[in-house]
Structure 1
Amino acid sequence: MNWYVVYTKPKWEKKVSDKLNQLGIECYCPLVTRIRQWSDRKKKVEMPLFNSYVFVRLQDSDRNQIFQASGIVRYLFWLGKPAIVRDDEIEIIKKSLASDSVYDVLISPHQKGDRIKLDSGVFNNQNAIVQEVSKTYYIVVLESLGCVLKIKYK
């Protein structure tokens, strides 16, 4: 069984995940807790880590079953085929969200476009490309996951 990426309607990630679970389809919608400010209060809100994306795990022959759930637009494609996410990449996402720890990452001076290997934290041993450099942070793209990290430094 493979993990596939499903594109959903905007703000439908949690609803789609619930509906897929009801249908007996294994899915994963990574959520993060954020504090949102309204004019009269602050509130902790669970928000999807990836907007409009849900991961589903099923056999290739069962791919059309997901369209029984409302809110699903289509599969995400890569090179003309449905994008497949490796099990270890899903585990990295789960591990990083489960960890409350803040890691110190030693970064030597880099320039935009440099290839680096992270040497600590949840993304240890992951290759990345430096996308942006400022006075207080780096923005790097993890090659295997295709996600962007903002790394602050002093």
Structure 2
Amino acid sequence: MNWYVLYTKPKWEKKVTEQLQAIGIECYCPLVTKERQWSDRKKKVEVPLFNSYVFVHLEDKDRPSVFQSPGAVRYLFWLQKPAIVREDEIATIKKWLNSPDLAEIEVSTYQVGETIQLESGPFVNQQAVVQEVTASHYILVLESMGCVLRMKHK
């Protein structure tokens, strides 16, 4: 069985996860707690770490079954094949989200386009390509996962 990346309708990540779990499909939607500001109050809400992505764990032959959920759009493809996320990458995401203190990663000395290996923090030993570095954030591309991470400087 493999972990595949399922692309969902915008803001449907949690609904798709619930619907797929209800029909017996193992899936994972990593959530983070963020503080949202309304005109009259602030509130902490859980939002998906990856917008419009849900990870599903199933056999290749069972991949079409996810489309029983009306929020499922398509699978994410990488090099013309369905993107497969390794078990250790899913474990890394879970470990990072369960970490009480998120580690800082300093990339200011790296050049855009450079491939780096993260030496500490939640994505330790993961390779990433530096896509953008600004005064407030940096963008790393984790090619093995087929995703882009935007991380703020502290």
TM class by shorter chain equals 0.7 to 0.9
Shift of 1:118: 1.9
Cα deviations across residues 1-32 of structure 1 (Å, max 9, x unaligned)? Answer: 01111111111111110011110110011111
Number of aligned residue pairs: 153
Give the counterpart letter for 2:151 in structure 1. Answer: K
1:88 and 2:88 matched: yes
Would the aligned equivalents of 2:139 and 2:148 in 1 still touch at CA under 8 Å? no
> Does structure 2 conserve the Cα–Cα contact (< 8 Å) formed by 1:4 and 1:82?
yes
Structure 1 counterpart of 2:49, one-letter code = L
Q: Could you tell me which residue of structure 1 aligns to residue 131 of structure 2?
A: 131
| Counterpart position of 1:75 | 75
Distance of 1:118 and 1:84 partners within structure 2: 21
Structure 1 consecutive aligned stretches of length 4 or more whose deviation exceeds 6 Å: none
Residue-by-residue CA offset, 1:45-78 (whole Å, 9 max, x unaligned): 1111111111111111111211222211122222
Name the structure 2 match of 1:50. Answer: 50
* Structure 2 Cα separation of the partners of residues 79 and 50 of structure 1: 20
Which of the pair has more CA radius of gyration? Answer: 1
- 1:120 paired to 2:107: no
TM-score normalised per structure 2: 0.86
What is the one-letter code of the residue matched to 2:62?
D
Task: Find the aligned partners of 2:110 and 2:79 in 1 and give their Cα distance.
Answer: 31
Unaligned runs of 5+ in 1: none
Q: Are the counterparts in 1 of residues 108 and 133 from structure 2 also a CA contact under 8 Å?
A: no
Amino acid in structure 1 at the alignment position of 2:19? K
Partner SS state of residue 24, structure 1: coil
Residue identity matched to 1:14: K
2:27 alignment partner AA:
C
Please give the TM-score of this superposition, normalised by the length of structure 1.
0.86
Judge conservation of contact 1:2–1:59 (CA < 8 Å) in 2: yes
Q: 1:136 to 1:47 in 2, by over 3 A?
A: closer
* Aligned counterpart, 2:63: 63
SS of the equivalent of 1:147 reads: strand
Q: What 5-or-longer segments of structure 2 have no aligned partner?
A: none
> Does 2:27 match 1:27?
yes
Q: Distance in 2 between matches of 1:103 and 1:149?
A: 14
Distance 2:93 2:7 in 1: 18
* SS at 2:18 equivalent: helix
CA RMSD of aligned residues (A): 2.1
Aligned counterparts, 1:102-121, within 5 A = 102-105=102-105, 109-121=109-121
What secondary structure is seen at the aligned counterpart in 2 of 1:110? coil
